[in-house]
Amino acid sequence: MNSKNNIGTQIKSRLKHLSASPDDSVWENIEKELKKKRRKRILFFWWLSSGSLLTIALVTAIFYGYTTSKNPLQEKTNEINKSTTKKTTNENADYNKPSEKTLTSGISKEPQKPSASKKTYLLESLNNKNNSSKGTNNLVSKKNTFKNLDEINNSSSSVDNTLTLQDIKTDEEEELKHTVAEVKVKEDIKKPEELKEKQKDSTKSQDYSRWSFTPQGLLSYYGTFKSNASNNTNYNYGFLASYKMNSQFYARTGIRLLNLSQDINGLTREVTYYQFPLEIKYTPFQYKINPYAIGGFSYYSLRDSKTNSNTLDFQATVGLNAGLGAEIKLWKKTFINFESIFNYQLMPFSNKNDVKPYILNLSLGIEYRF
């Protein structure tokens, strides 16, 4: 540090005795800014989480949504058909395995006829199913099958160890006949039985209720983007009705009575709206505590308004809704719902102003499905 001239030292020593305080308005402004920043941070995280969930929901909807929107009965039928075909293929694969007989006769690549024990097993299984089946048509076709199988059995027992190429070909044809007949019988027996059982099971595990109604209690925060609002939390209530479009998407509407108030820089505003939301609810998962996303818009019908500002008059308006929620099953068809919905009001005032109000609703509802 360089040496200092006298005037600097003189002024420094004099100004040490200076005492002064800033006006109270300085802290008030600082406090306002801090609250504004905090609110922005909360909104940012809220939008971030909503946006993330909505993106996940959309991606899930694209990949899985369309497949689950098919008729469940049709799906079950398809499943059964698939499983039957699979079993048949497996059994055919077993028949194609080379046996010792084939190897000794030197024709290793030729398919083999079923062994006597395999035929016995098939007969047994068919007999079992025959006992459980009651349809007369099935019985006729099964009798024919038994006939064919007996023929095959007899022919196979007479073959013994001396097989010729002609014999094998004949056996192949018979085997093919046998397989086709067997599959047909199996399908005839299985289809109605399994379908009934699977349908029974599905009705047990899945809820086919299409409609629901939900009375709600709400904690409403009436905020603004452009300035600091205080005294802006109110309790409200509403009612929602929803329709299940498919396993993941619900359309819902209803009515909420919103008594809202806010103080902005000494100006007090009180307004009552009837809110008519029209929303889509998306439930990508089926958990016990089941999260979901909500998006849509609302029409706000003005019921009453009070303001000590001559420059602002409330009016009916529309708004955009986005939210997150979770539902928990209480009883068979009764659910409890928690939701946080952000409503941004478009043009809530009849004249131009910088106040951009929004409503943040936290709701608790009991949903009954039928």
Partner 1 sequence: MNLDNLIKRCKKQKLDAQSQLYKLYKDDLFILCLKYCRNKEEAQDNLQDAFLEIFQKIKYYKGIGSFEGWMKRITINKAIDKYKSKHEINFEINDNILKDTEFTIENIEAIPLEDILFQVQNLPSQYRLVFTMYELDDYSHKEIAELLNISESTSKSNLHRAKKLLQTKIQRPIKAS
CB of 260 to partner 1, least distance (A): 25
**CA atoms of 128 and 126, how far apart (whole Å):** 5
CB of 19 to partner 1, least distance (A): 7
- Output the DSSP codes for 274-304: EEEEEEEEE-----SEEEEEEEEEEEEEEEE
Is residue 40 close enough to count as binding partner 1 by CB under 8 A?
A: no
Residue 80's alpha-carbon distances to 49, 83, 190, in angstroms, are: 41, 5, 9
Is residue 1 close enough to count as binding partner 1 by CB under 8 A?
A: yes
Task: Pick the closer one to partner 1 by CB: 8 or 266.
Answer: 8
- Helix 72-95 to helix 165-205 angle (10° resolution) is 150
Task: Pick the closer one to partner 1 by CB: 35 or 87.
Answer: 35
Is residue 165 close enough to count as binding partner 1 by CB under 8 A?
A: no
Both tokens of 154, joined, read 């007899």
3-class SS at 189? helix
Is residue 9 close enough to count as binding partner 1 by CB under 8 A?
A: yes
Task: Pick the closer one to partner 1 by CB: 24 or 100.
Answer: 24
Write each residue from 286 to 315 as x if it is in contact with partner 1 (CB under 8 A), else as -, in one continuous string.
Answer: ------------------------------
**CA atoms of 353 and 347, how far apart (whole Å):** 9
Task: Pick the closer one to partner 1 by CB: 29 or 246.
Answer: 29
Is residue 45 close enough to count as binding partner 1 by CB under 8 A?
A: no
Is residue 62 close enough to count as binding partner 1 by CB under 8 A?
A: no
Task: Pick the closer one to partner 1 by CB: 11 or 116.
Answer: 11
Is residue 12 close enough to count as binding partner 1 by CB under 8 A?
A: yes
Which of 17-25, 173-181, 187-195, 317-325 is the region at the interface with partner 1 (rule: CB under 8 A)?
Answer: 17-25
On whether the CB atoms of residues 253 and 240 are closer than 8 A, the answer is: yes
Is residue 124 close enough to count as binding partner 1 by CB under 8 A?
A: no
Q: Provide the Cα torsion 204, 86, 118, 181; round to 10°.
A: 90
**CA atoms of 48 and 42, how far apart (whole Å):** 10
Is residue 137 close enough to count as binding partner 1 by CB under 8 A?
A: no
Q: How many other C-beta atoms lie within 10 A of the C-beta of residue 205?
A: 6
Both tokens of 77, joined, read 């039928």
Is residue 230 close enough to count as binding partner 1 by CB under 8 A?
A: no
Binding site for partner 1 (CB under 8 A): 1-2, 4-12, 14-15, 17-23, 25-27, 29-31, 33-35, 38
